[in-house]
Structure 1
Amino acid sequence: MDGSLRILLVSCALVSMLVSSSAQTCGSYTFSNNNLYTYCSDLSKLGSYIHWTRQANGTLEIAYRQPNFSSTNWIAWAINPNSTGMLGAQSLVAYVNSSAPYAYTSPVSSYSTKLEAGSLSFAVPKIQAENSNGEMIIYATLELSSDVTTVNQVWQEGPMSGDTPGTHSTTGEHVQSKGTLDLLSGQTSTGGSVTSSRVRRRNIHGVLNVVSWGTLMPLGAMIARYMKVFQAADPAWFYLHVACQCSGYIVGVAGWATGIKLGSESSSVQYDTHRNVGITLFCLGTLQVPNQYGEF
Structure 2
Amino acid sequence: MARAFGVGAAMLVVVSAFFAPAVTAQTGSCNDPLPTELVGNYSGMACSPVWNNFVLRYAQGGDNVLRVVLSAMYSSGWVGMAFSKDGLMVGSSAMVGWVGKKGQAHVKQFALNGKAPSMVVADRGFLVSNGHDHTVLVKQAKIYLAFQLNFDSQLKKQQVLFAFGSAIPVNDRLAEHQGKTSITFDFTTGSSSGSSFPSGLKRTHGALNLFAWGVLLPIGAIIARYCRGWDPLWFYLHGGIQFVGFILGLAGVVAGVSLYGKIQADVPAHRGLGIFVLVLGILQILAFFLRPNKDSKYRKYWNWYHHWVGRLVLFFAAVNIVLGIKVGGAGNSWKIGYGFNLAILLITIITLEVLVWTRWKNNSGPATTY
TM-score normalised over the length of structure 1: 0.50
- Find the structure with the greater CA-based Rg: 2
Give the helix-richer structure, 1 or 2: 2
Q: TM-score, normalised by structure 2?
A: 0.40
Higher strand share: 1
